[in-house]
Each structure stands twice: as C-alpha cells, then as structure tokens.
Structure 1
C-alpha cells in the first residue's frame, strides 16, 4: 500500500506528465493561423509550402481508402542503394521545390539516396552508364526534364515519375507517375465542406490534356453527390465562347466552376481574367487546381505538399523493388495543401470563421 506522502508525490508527477503532453500536442498543431512559405517559393508555379509534419490530420485524409494508403517503409541499405533521383539542374525557385521533394524521399527511405542533376545537354548514354555502375533498379524522376532524361534508358530500370502534370498514354504504360494535378475527389470534398448547397460542377477542358482527369472527376462527383457538367474546348476562342455560354445560365447558389490545370481553357492572359470578372459579378464560386489562381481571386485551390509527395514517390519505388509491378499509369496528387481567398469568400456570402481558417495552409489576402 502506498503511503499518503508517496501518493501526493505520485499525483504531482502524473500532473506534470499530463501538462507536458498537453504542451506537446498544442505545439504540434502549429501556430494559430496557417503558415505561409518563403517569398522565394511563391515564384514557382507548382511549389508547395510545407506544413508542420505533426499538424492534426485534416478531413481529406479520410478519403484515402485502406487499400490505397501506404505507410512509410523503412528498408535496408541495399534497397535504398537501388534507388536514384533524377531531377532537372535548375536554379531558384525550382531548386527549392526539388530539395523539398528529395527531403521527403530520403525521409521515407531512412537514408540518403543517389541524386543525378540533368540538363538539356545531358547525354543519356552517360546517365545510363552511371546508373548501371551504381546498381540502380528504380529511378525517381522529377519534372518533365528528369523524365525525358530517362526515356531512352534500359527497360530493366523502372521509372517512378513525379512533378509532371501528365504523361502521354503511350509512355504511361511503362511507368508509374504521380501528377501535380490534385485529385478531383479532394477538390469536390473541400467544395462541399465550404458550400454544402452546391449541386453542379462545371468544367471546360481540352481532352488532349485532361481526358484522363475528367474520367476520375466523373466518379468523384458521383461519390460527393455532384453533377459534373463537362464541355470540351480545343482552342482559346472556343474556350472563351463556352465560358460565356455557361455563365449566361449559371446559378451561383448551386453551381460552381472548376479550373483544371489546362493551358487551353484556363489561359492566364486571355481566359482567366474573363472568368474572374464574370464570377465576381454573378457571385459564382470558382475553385482551382492551381495555387496562383487564389491570389488572383479564385475561392480556393489545392496545391502540392512537396515533402509528402516525395514520401509517396519513395514508397512507390520501394513497392516496385519488393515485386509490386502492377500499378502503372498516371495517378492524381493526394498530398496537397489548401489555399483560400477570404475576400472572395466574403463577396459570395461565405463567412470563413477563425477556427475554419486554421484548416487552410495559405490565406489571401495575407493576414
């Protein structure tokens, strides 16, 4: 039996432990308002502003099924030595993006991995010789230039591609790629969370760029109780005309417009200004797959979390090394951060309170 003095000491110790645990949890939740990245990263079109690794899990995580979830794998040194990262030799702000992705790759690996910086004058045969000498079995390529450098290499070196918007269908049969394009399921989930009354999502796209994405979006819309209305446009003039026709009949209380990453239908200089003007005048919510659109007036966007994307690429590479060669093709990005424009939200009658703002990683206008 514990005596009373000993009991008092024990209770004090338990109280101190509880306080320490509480402080630890509060610290892991991050600051009271969402973090924003450094100014140098804001110049990169697909840069990610990394959030604290111990932040509370947001609701998007629940969308990942157990079959798709991949826990970080700690592998032996021989497996890590069989993986290499091939990335473009570019200056800032792109270099910082690649560094963050590689940080995630090495974190999942539990050790440094071989890195090969390639340029426009890189000789594929020299790269092939280096990879062979070092016993590389899987190459993680970053960016279009990194993928291009691997296109002529031996088939016995598997490729996991990241940092690209899409891959031609003929190439995608021979590799696994994680696109920079956010998963439509995550976009639609965030839309319904902000605006539960939405019933239709309208998207105008070039099928040569985004047919694969629209196939995913149709299923995602059905799951979230949304009607996906799609229009094809193969040039700027037809895209502009289609937007004009859509805005003429749109209902801002139940309809929203989705802007995919599409150089034809979301042209930055000609089409986007018209979309923003019409959406503002008609109080129509517009959401995007591109971070920079939020600063210009779009309600919200999802954008890459570079470190988490690196972990996914590494785990995919380790899966191939362990014999899982079934997954091929292009996968949408699920490792995302969220940006919101509170001025636009207020204009359309959406009040995003202080607590809800904490679920976003970047806020415009900046606090």
Structure 2
C-alpha cells in the first residue's frame, strides 16, 4: 500500500515551495510500521538466500539461468548469486557464505562446493542427476520421478503390465527403489536386471528382449551411463525394440529424439521455484525432509514416428498435450 494513499486525508500544504506537514492517525502509524517491517524482512530474506551455480558455457548455461529465474520468481526478490569456476578457492567461498542462512547449490560444481562448507550451513541441492549420499541432503534432482513416467505409460498404453529395466546398482539403486514402489501403486510389475559394465548390460538386454512381449511389456531407459551408454548400448536397444515392436520410454529427452517413444525432461523454471520453496522453508526454521527428491517439475516429449510404428496412432489434439514432438515438422 503506498504512503500517499495512507496519508491522503491527513496531508496539509502551507505555501508552495515551503513546508509540507503530514499528520498520521495512530492506526495509520501502525500500518506504516508493518509495511516497513515487511519490506525490511523481504530484503533480509533476499540477502540470506544465496545461489551457487557453475560458470559454464552453453547449452548448460541457459539451463541454470532458467533455474535462477524460477528461484527469483518464487522468492520474489533477487537472491545473491555466486558463479563457480573450476579453480575457485574453497576458503574464500566459505568466508563469502559465513553470514548466509541458506544456500542453493546447483550442478556438480555446486554440489562439490557445498561439501566443503561448514556442516552447520543449510544447503539445498539442485540441478544434478544422481547425488552421492542423497539421503543425508535436501534438494531435488534432475532425474524424473519414475511414478510420472509409469503413469504416462499407462495413459498411452493401458494394456501394459510389465516394465523392464537394466540398471547399474552403483548409480541407480535408490532410483530403482522408487520405481518398484511406483510400479506397485500402478499395478505394474518391475523386472529389473543389474549390470555393472557394458558387457553385462548387453547380456541383460538380450535376456530382457528374449522374454519381452510388446503387447504387455515396455522397456524403461533410466539415466545410467553404464546401461544406457550412448555409442553402443543405446543403438542396440533402439534397433532391437524397433524390430520387435517393443515400446521404449526414457528419463531423457535426447533419447526421444533418437527414437524412444516418449520421455520426460526438466521444466527448469518450475524446478527453480520448487528449490526456492525448500530453501525459504529452511530459512523460516522448518525442519527439512531429508533426501534429494526426484524431479516432478517436468515437461513431456513424444516421438510420433515411433508411436505410429508400434500402432499407437495419436490424433493432433493428443500430440498437443506433449511439450515437444519429434521428428519436428
């Protein structure tokens, strides 16, 4: 509320270019004090919220700028930002953050920097795929929640009964635990095979394809550098699934471009809002829920050519429910 509107009935003007006298009623004084305290509180909150992000080039820089936009939108102020370079001084960073209440650490460099801070420093992690010791931290990963992927599968292909996946437990054990619960809640069976190297991944996919039935089974590609390796494993999977009419979906939008039926990818601005909400809750003294949560701020992508190949004919209105459709017209 503007001061002018509060004072309009109590303003007296003597002569031009002389003295302006403003008289406030007691109730107006109380309202003005509340307004000023709110403004000061907002400024303190902005100063208390600090964001660490990697100082890197495109296309990743745009991703982090969009996350920063969401953080600013949610906090309604411009938080302090620190760009992290590869050769940064940890001691200098700790000194810079010693008066800050909450830090949002983005990306691998942000995660690394956060590990060097005072253990008492409140930190929210974001903008990373897998996080070591995720149960001890608070934040949101870049890995889409399996529950969202499985729900989309059921929506597109209601006849699906099983989800097949090959994963490396060293990287994705926590993700598979979430997937088992999500599958059970949706009436799906999760058939998960472990693989610790490329040769093991190839053998596991061979076993999955041999037992698969495209009328009731679908293959899920998680974010896994071992079992979804881009140069040998992914082309093999795409070739076999195409010849067998086996639906394949993914946690990466890049795979949809290459022929996977559908996938989910981050809504970066909304992710920033969600990270800011976590940070502001910490700042307000709330006890954080431990654990880096899976991504739920997502967009969806469809490969219409693959959909037609497996007999899934989606009309234009159905295709428009996806945020991206490949091949692009």
Query: What band does the TM-score fall into relative to the shorter chain?
Result: 0.7 to 0.9
1:187 aligns with 2:149: yes
**Aligned residue among 126, 136, 140 for 2:92:** 126
1:206 CA drift (Å): 0.4
| 1:324 match | 286
Task: List alignment gaps of at least 5 residues for structure 1.
Answer: 1-74
| 2:29 match | none
Q: Following the alignment from structure 1 to structure 2, what is the Cα–Cα distance between the partners of residues 109 and 94?
A: 23
Task: List alignment gaps of at least 5 residues for structure 2.
Answer: 1-40
**8 A contact 2:139–2:278 mirrored in 1:** no
**Aligned residue among 237, 243, 264 for 1:302:** 264
Q: Following the alignment from structure 1 to structure 2, what is the Cα–Cα distance between the partners of residues 362 and 263?
A: 24
1:106 aligns with 2:106: no
**Pairs aligned (count):** 289
| 1:10 match | none
- 1:1-367 matched pairs, under 5 angstroms: 76-132=42-98, 135-169=99-133, 172-367=134-329
1:94 CA drift (Å): 1.2
1:156 CA drift (Å): 2.4
Q: Following the alignment from structure 2 to structure 1, what is the Cα–Cα distance between the partners of residues 251 and 66?
A: 20
Rg bigger for which structure? 2
1:124 CA drift (Å): 0.8
Root-mean-square deviation (CA, aligned residues, Å) is: 1.0
Structure 1 runs of 4+ with >2 Å offset: 172-175
Which of the pair has the greater relative contact order for Cα pairs under 8 Å at 6+ separation?
Answer: 1
Q: Following the alignment from structure 2 to structure 1, what is the Cα–Cα distance between the partners of residues 139 and 170?
A: 18
TM-score normalised by L of structure 1: 0.77
1:173 CA drift (Å): 4.5
Q: Following the alignment from structure 2 to structure 1, what is the Cα–Cα distance between the partners of residues 165 and 144?
A: 15
Helix, strand or coil: the match of 2:127?
A: strand
1:76 CA drift (Å): 2.5
Q: Following the alignment from structure 2 to structure 1, what is the Cα–Cα distance between the partners of residues 110 and 243?
A: 43
